[in-house]
Structure formats: C-alpha cells, structure tokens
Amino acid sequence: MSSTETSLPPQLAKIVERFQRRCDPKQKYKQLLWYAQKLPPMSAASKTEANKVKGCVSQVYITAALADGKVQYQGDSDAQLVKGLVAFLIEGLNNLPPAEIAQIEPSFIEDTGLKVSLTPSRANGFFNIFHMMKQQALNLSLDTAKKPTSN
C-alpha cells in the first residue's frame, strides 16, 4: 500500500487496491469495462458544453450536485474504456463532502498502474476528468459558502 493510498477516502482506496492486484494490463482493461457497464445512464440534457471535460479525445461529460452536503456525480463517455474511467472516479468520489474531494491529490492515478496500460492521451484524459470533478466539488463548496444564512 502506498503512502498516498492511506490518505484516500475508503471507497477510492478500495478501487485503487483492486487495480493494483491486477498485474496484467488486459485484466485492468476488463476491470474498466466492468465499471463502464455499471455506470447509470446520463440524460441527453446533461450532455452540454458546460459539462464536457476539456482535453479528452473522447466525448466525456460530468455533472455534480450537492445532496445533504455530499457530492453526487453523474457522467458518461462515448468510449467504453473512458466510460470505465469515469465510473471508477464516480464510484470513488460520490457521497463525499466537497472539501474532502478538494484535498485528494491525483497521485492515486499512478498508484492504480493504469497509466502504463493507457495510451498517453487516455492517461491525460483520466487526469482531466479527475481535475474537472475536483473543480466541480470546489465550486459546489464555494456556492454553499456564498449562500446567505436565514435569520
């Protein structure tokens, strides 16, 4: 277990560990495709330019909303492998408070061993998806902080 894993939220740490146990890149791909199949469908109305992840070769969309102080993500991609990356991040980050998501460093991506298995553009896309999700969490926490409290 790497030092970065110990600071990860439990669900994300569990997913990283799952990928670390798979030495064969084909097994890692199969795991990603399994995550892609589990991803709930995203409405066409949510697939807007504002929700599109920049810097991805594939079409990738992510939305974030706050429910009971925890971030709820939705996402989709037109490429199955990338959809698996989206699902991996959603499963690892959903239901966390925005402040906790904002503290997560992207080094866990290296810990999965996926960077070696992915093409450089997909590895970069994975980072961009994570960065957007982190930014959305930060925006949600800022929006919450700006709301006036009722007297």
Please give the positions annotated as active site.
56
Q: Angle of helix 80-93 relative to helix 120-146, nearest 10 degrees? A: 40
Q: Mark out the alpha helices in 21-69 (DSSP H runs).
A: 25-38
| CA 54 to each of CA 13, 57, 81, 129: distance values in angstroms, whole numbers, following the listed order | 26, 9, 17, 8
